[in-house]
Amino acid sequence: MAQVADNRQPSVLRSIDWWTIGIYLALLSFGWISVCGASYTYGDNDIFSLGTRSGMQIIWIGTSIALGFVLLMLDDRFYDTFSYVIYAVLILLLFATIFNPHSIKGSHSWLVLGPLRLQPAEFGKFATALAVAKFMSSYGFNIHNIKHFMAAVGIILLPMVCIVGQRETGSALVYSAFFLMLYREGMPGSILFTAVAMVVYFVVGIKYENVMMWDSYTSIGKFVVLLLVQIFTAGMVSSYTGNKKHCYTILAYTVGITLIFLLFSTYVIPFDIVWVQLGLCAAMIGYIVYQALATRLRSYYFIAAFALGSIAFFYSADYVLNNVMEPHQRVRINVLLGLDEDLAGAGYNVHQSEIAIGSGGLQGKGFLNGTQTKLKFVPEQDTDFIFCTVGEEEGFLGSACVLLLFLALILRLIHLAERQPFKFGRVYGYCVLSVFLFHLFINVGMVLGLTPVIGIPLPFFSYGGSSLWGFTILLFIFLRIDAGRNLIRN
């Protein structure tokens, strides 16, 4: 008897990665428990009442699960086909929100529709991820082509500009996480190194700018930053041109002459060595440009641009910090860098959060038994600082379990992204991974006092519908794309 070929498509529900959905549901459960603990007030009898935040969070969780189910039922090709349309709609919405008359805590990032408040910036993440994935998977795209690369960067920067216009800097910074995806897709490592170098310049330069070297006229911050510029530049010459002789020449002259003038300033005539270093940097850049003209290697031009840009960044960052930033933003950075303590002002949130986490000990105080959170010592304890509730009520063990769940989610997303047969799915998957990683690192870091307080939620934990819906959409679109990887296309 002849066998009939089975051409039936595999079921979408059978192709879905249920491990990730299991982690998602576990995080939602832990998140609701944390919202209960953070919002509970002594004397409340019903944590399920819609008049409480814990009750409303159940509504947000239920609608998020329903939304995820709808996203899974759509054809995965829908997201590829309408990527640009979705992106355009969200950009228009983000731009319109700038002129929103409703101001919440100084920010114009919320749309108020009766009793409902929505934050378009939370939904812009998945729209941007879809658009950049669509563009980078288009025929002929090459990340090493400067025009293609800048176009991809432009797709990422456009929503950032709109969100900054809403005076919501924290949400805008989340979009910088997409550069991790660009690095995975072949972005030169020099760009990532430059970003790290800029952070080092800023932290070292600002923190020690007003500390003088051996009671002289030389700022330790400026001295170290300019010395790092010289060392980093010499290292790049060795790495990207292969010419170690030029690297050693740069190091010998810049470090050697700096050391000579440092000794002269210390023991003979005190003066500001920074001027000598600036002169050496100018000579170094001139030398590199000369080598570029002599050898016709483009790498020398990029290295010269790095050195010049490093100096320009440091001095412009100092100007922006002291003359452009709002006072409360400047105080937050100073507190983070240890320049100001301000336990009653900008450092109050972090200080109280650290007390709450420390008081939890190893096993925690138990569900609804936290004292710091129940007495409302920690501002925003059910939104941006909700992780302190986990630390106080569940202790170190509970906090570790939560972080392990997030680690499992991150590792699972890497696995799913790497198994995508098409570039669109892989790029989108790494966008999702980058956003979750950035939120996790910054949110937990700011609660522990390790990163700046920029006001971003902890995925699936912080109270609110916009962030929960945004993260759910971001994740479930990827799960749907992954579920369709083995389907037969007509």
DSSP string, 440-482: HHHHHHHHTTSS-----PPTTTSS-HHHHHHHHHHHHHHHHHH
Q: 79: pLDDT confidence band, cut at 50, 70 and 90?
A: very high
Task: Give 100: exposed, middle or buried? Use CB within 10 Å, 0-12, 13-18, 19+.
Answer: middle
Q: What pLDDT shows up at residue 4?
A: 43
Tell me, what DSSP letter sits at residue 112?
E
Task: Render pLDDT for 23-76 as a digit per residue (tens, 0 to 9).
Answer: 999 999 999 998 888 887 766 667 777 778 888 899 999 999 999 999 999 988
The first and second tokens of residue 68, run together, are 């995820």
Which element (helix H / strand E) includes 116? Answer: strand 116-118
pLDDT band at 14 (very low <50, low <70, confident <90, very high): confident
Q: What percent of the chain has pLDDT over 90?
A: 39
d(CA 117, CA 330): 29
Q: What is the mean pLDDT of the segment spanning 265-284?
A: 88
pLDDT of the residue at 305:
92
Are residues 166 and 109 in contact, defined by beta-carbon separation less than 8 angstroms?
yes
Contacts (Cβ under 8 Å, ≥6 apart) of 366:
393
- Whether the pLDDT of residue 336 is over 80: the answer is no
User: Which of 83-92, 161-170, 210-219 is the least confident region?
Assistant: 210-219
Q: Pick the closest to residue 441 from 426, 428, 452 (CA basis).
A: 452
For residue 116, what are the β-bridge partners?
113
Give the pLDDT confidence of 369-419 residue by residue, as tens digits: 777 777 677 777 778 888 888 888 888 999 999 999 999 999 999 999 999
**Total residue count of the chain as it appears in this document:** 490
Residues 359-378: what's their mean pLDDT? 78
Residue 206 in this model has a pLDDT that exceeds 50: yes
Average pLDDT, the chain: 85
The predicted structure's pLDDT at residue 3: 45
- The region, left, alpha or beta by phi > 0 then psi within -120 to 50, assigned to residue 215 is left
State the pLDDT at residue 284: 93
Residue 441's nearest CA partner among 471, 407, 487 is: 407
Mean pLDDT, rounded, for 440-447: 90
Q: Which residue has the higher pLDDT, 259 or 326?
A: 259
pLDDT for 450 beyond 70: yes
Give the pLDDT of residue 89. Answer: 95
Over residues 231-257, the mean pLDDT reads: 90
Match 């700038």 to its residue by tokens: 98
- In this predicted structure, what is the pLDDT of residue 362? 85
Weakest-pLDDT range from 103-112, 125-134, 295-304, 354-363: 103-112
pLDDT at 435 over 60: yes
Per-residue pLDDT, 129: 96
| pLDDT in the model for residue 1 | 40
Least confident of 207-211, 269-273, 345-349: 345-349
Asked whether residue 6 carries a pLDDT value surpassing 60, the answer given is no
Pull the structure tokens for residue 244. Answer: 């170690």
- Residue-level pLDDT at 10: 59
**Is the model's pLDDT at 240 over the cut of 80?**
yes
Determine contact, residues 400/444, Cβ cutoff 8 Å: no
What is the reported pLDDT for 63? 94
